[in-house]
Amino acid sequence: MVSTQQLKAIMPFATLGKITVFLDPLNATMEEFFINTWMRKAAFLAQLAHESGQFNYVEEIASGAAYDGRADLGNTKPEAIALAELSSTSPGRYFKGRGLIQITGYANYKACSWGLLNSRALLDKPELLKTPELACRSAGWFWNEHELNTLADKGKFEKITRVINGGLIHIQQRRAFYAQALLVLP
């Protein structure tokens, strides 16, 4: 379990209101996905701090148009196109990044939906990933699917960043959150 005080110390720009909203779902997620050691919690919270702008964003700021036509995300699949068209938009915009570790693209939404909910709910209503419970749980699901606990146990923070981000974008900020989390957590 993490406390309000610990989260505030790790994410100083997170408001107490945001921390309060995410605290219980976050603790439940860490329990569900065995993010239960000092190293695992520190790595997970550091990545969430960066990815969510310290709990300020559960949806990508960009429109998602850059993901249109991305076969690697599944956004060229006929179902992805059809679902987006039902909402008068494009697959990239429809399946843009959401959650505390932003799930992005049709293929990831589909895997997350079936993995977490055993249904297609996230395909039909991708905005569900903006709710506190699913924003947290989807981050835990992603963490678990990519076996990031194993990397966290070994202190492989850069490798975790590459899995989440595809590169080392903003690695200094991520490392700062990680260092602070290592200091704050018991």
* 48 contacts 101 by C-beta, under 8 angstroms: yes
101/97 Cα distance (integer angstroms): 8
DSSP tag of 38: H
Catalytic choice (31, 51, 127, 133) = 51
Query: First-to-last CA distance in the chain?
Result: 10
DSSP tag of 71: G
**Whether residue 51 lies in the annotated active site:** yes
Element containing residue 176 per DSSP (H, E):
helix 171-184
In the block, residue with structure tokens 């329990």: 31
Query: 103 in helix, strand or coil?
Result: strand
Number of residues in the chain: 186
Calculate the CA dihedral of residues 14, 16, 21, 22 and round it to 10 degrees. 50
Active site residue ranges: 51
